[in-house]
Structure formats: structure tokens, C-alpha cells
Homo-oligomer: A and B are copies of this chain.
Amino acid sequence: MRTPRNQSSKRKRAAASIRDVAKRARVSIATVSRVVNRISSVDPELAKRVWKAVDEIGYLPNTQARALVSGRSRILGLIVSEITNPFFPELVQEFENLAVAQGYEVMIGSTNYDPARTELLVRRMLQRNVDGVAVMTFGIEEELVQRLVESEFPLVFVDAGPDLPNIRILKVNYEEGIRQAVQHLAALGHRSMAFITGPLHLRSAVARRDAFVKSMKELGLTAPAGFIVTGTHTMEGGIAAMERMLALPELPTAVLCSNDMTAIGVLHGLYRTTHSVPQEISVVGFDDIHLAQFMLPPLTTVQMSCRDLADAAVEALRAGVETDHRKATQKEWPIPTRLVVRQSTAFPRGTLPALVQKTGRNKSGKNPK
């Protein structure tokens, strides 16, 4: 460290520092800092000189130094479960756009459902001194709560979380959308509906299943044993679950899925076994990922808007970061869900046979020649 910078053994050419700017503009580093950070009370003449110097030597303030001294990193953490589930990239993108617009940087991490990885992730966020973290894994891993919660960072959880002053909750209204889906199917004539859940250690997966059961009950319907199958929120899980269901003595006329990836798997499973959707079996997803509308047939699904989620998360975090102390207003942020009807749902076969023949792939139902 005692070695002068210019002949240091470091590979990289030393970047311009605030001192270089100060020297060039013939002012003190304090003034440079004031100018760069747009703090008032600097002579316009001086300021101009400083900006000129900044441009000339391409000065970029060092983030680490800044964070170190100011105690604020201007980073928001975002923890998701799995970046390869298309829902999450969409969420990440929305979150990032909003955060960047607010001048924050985003530090993304995926847990991959691995406690060790999660632990590492949390530690790194802590070490980086993030300004706040949104934990959007849709099922809190308790091990990560611990350290993060203790840290007293502003935190956002989905669905549920410890009741603490630094914590905000995004309350997703699963029931709303799922009830719409069940009612939509019932209105089409379906009585025999099945549900493929997500992994049941996820709070959100349980909530979705429960919403399904409740909505059925409201209509006086019950899903028989075997009609509620556990999946994994992946396409593979959807296929496997569908296979199990196809082995049942009697089949449902409609299958609701805990997320769109599962539904895509179901579509694939039914295709493999030459069952037609929606003629033989209707399929409903959950999430409304971008992909859903491009499936064959386009997927009827319950929309949980990434935009809403990201909006609320960033806002809640910002509230926690910027308003002094946690006296803050809102602790819970409601997130709506709603059904989006496309072509993977139709009258169950047998209800209106004549019609069913014609309802089919043709989106508009226009005369199959």
C-alpha cells in the first residue's frame, strides 16, 4: 500500500480520483465533492471549472468509497427463488426499471431453493450494506429471515413475514383470481375440477391451493381425493402430476395449476397422451407470464402482475429507506389478481357436444373447413 499508485503492481490503470479533479480545477476536494453531489453554495464559476475537469479526465466517483463514508449504498436487494422460472425475470425487469429510475442499483440473487445459497446471498447483501431488500421467493425461507430481520434493514416480504417495524408485506389476493377461475369453469359447465399445487413448503403454493378448495366449496363442489396433486412449479412437475392424474379411474374435465410453468407442463403431458385441450380437458394457469398467451392453445390463467408487485416492492422499500425511521405509514400492500380468459378453457365434453366439436383450435371459432 505504500507503493505510489503509478508504479503499483496493479494491473489496471488507476482511475481518476477526486484529488485529480481538484488539482486540475484548482479547488479543494471538498469543493469537487460539493459540485458533483449538487450541494448548493458553490460559486457557479468554480462549479463550471470543476465540471470541465471532471469531463476532461473522465472522473467517476468511486461507489465503494462513497458508500463507505456515507453509510448508504443506494443498492436495493432483490431475492428471488429461481431466475430460470420466466416469472422472475419479468419481475426482475420491472423491479430494476423502477429502482433505476429512482437512482438505485439492484443486487439480484436467486436462492435456487438452497438454504446454503440463501445464507450466502443474505450475507453478501448484509456485507454490501444494501439500503433494503425485497424477498420475493413467495415462501419465506426461515433461515434467511433471521439475519436479515435482525439487521433492521427495510425489508419487503410477500404474503407474510414477521411483524416488525422495518418490515412491509405484499399481500397477494390469491382468492380473488382463483375464485374467478373456478367460477369461470363452473359457468362453462365444469363440475369435476382438479388442482396441481406447487411445492407445499411454499406459503404461496398452499395459499393458492386453499383458495381453490375454498372457491369450490363456495359453489358446493368438492375436489375428490386424487384431484389435488402436488407439483413443483416447473414444467417437469406439471407433466409428472398430469401423468399421475391420467392414471386415475376418472378424469377431471378441468385442471387448474398453481403456476403457468406447471400449466405448460400439463399442456405438454396432455399433448403427449393425445388428449386435446380444451376439448377434452380445460387447463388454467397462474401468474400470466408473457409466454402464456403464446402457448398452444393460448393459456387461460390468473394474472398476478409483476408490475404491481415490483411497484409495491420498490415503493415500500423506498418508504422504509427514505422516510426517517419506521414510523412509516403503510405496513401491508395489497396485490390484486384476476382471471385472463384465453383458449385453454371451454365447455366440458358432453355438456354441449355439438358445440364442442366446433369450438376448437381456431381462436375465433371460425368455420373449420
Contacts and interface: CB of A to CB of B under 8 A. Distances in A.
A58 B119 CA distance: 14
A338 to B, nearest CB: 22
Interface stretch (A11-19, A29-37, A185-193): A11-19
Contact of A361 (B127, B265, B271, B363): B271
Given A124-B105, A152-B13, A93 B84 contact: yes
Contacts of A1: 69
Contact of A12 (B147, B151, B267): B151
Interface stretch (A59-67, A134-142, A169-177, A199-207): A59-67
A129 B62 contact: yes
Interface in A70-84: 71, 73, 83-84
Given A62-B127, A267-B296, A271-B361, A93 B110 contact: yes
B60 A290 contact: no
A100 interface: yes
A336 to B, nearest CB: 22
Contacts of A69: 1
A123 interface: yes
Interface string A1-32: 10000000111110100000000000000000
A68 B64 contact: yes
A272 interface: yes
A337 to B, nearest CB: 21
A126 interface: yes
Contact of A83 (B10, B92, B120, B267): B92
Given A93-B83, A126-B60, A361 B151 contact: no
Interface of A: 1, 9-13, 15, 58, 60-65, 67-69, 71, 73, 83-84, 86, 88-90, 92-93, 96, 100, 105, 107-108, 110, 112, 117, 120, 123-124, 126-129, 147, 151-153, 235, 264-265, 267-268, 271-272, 274, 290-291, 294-298, 324-326, 361-363, 368
10 contacts: A9-B324, A12-B152, A63-B124, A64-B67, A68-B68, A84-B89, A96-B110, A235-B291, A268-B295, A271-B361
